[in-house]
Amino acid sequence: MHRQGIIELLRRTFDGAAWHGPSVMDTLRKVTIDQLGQRIVDSHSLIEIVEHMTAWRRFAVEKLRGNTTYDVDAAANFPKVDPNEESWLITLQQFEDSQLQLLEQLEQTDDSRLEQVVEGRNYSYYVMLHGLIHHDVYHLGQIVLLRK
């Protein structure tokens, strides 16, 4: 699959006609402030999951930009976030911004780059980008459960 196919899948999963049901943003737009801190036993909260999803989008953007030293640190992976309206609006905006940055970077990326190995990893950009889509769907399932 070429870069344009990946872009389309990223768009549909994030905020489009996803094959699996509601997109990530369709679901997040229905989140209430009371649901932000919800946990199932020792799970991460809904807002922490969205922060985590953003961190991995930033990772993909930085790697596509050629930043060979960038990595997701432990604090950014699942940060502790106060589940209030202000933090939610910031988290949601950062998540949407990270999606736009990813799509913009992909538009500027040559298809041949997808075959290359991501610096510091043992997988290609193609695998990383598809992994990001799978990652979104995985966490979307958690978010749906936390909303219940």
* Residues spanned by the domain of 85: 3-147
Number of structural domains the chain divides into? 1
Residue 49 has, within 13 A of its CA and on its CB side, a CA count of: 27
CATH code where residue 35 lies: 1.20.120.450
pTM above 0.85, yes or no: yes
Mind listing the pLDDT tens digit for each residue in 26-48?
Answer: 999 999 999 998 888 888 899 99
Is residue 72's pLDDT more than 90?
A: no
CA distance 13 to 120: 27
Mean pLDDT across the stretch 53-59? 96
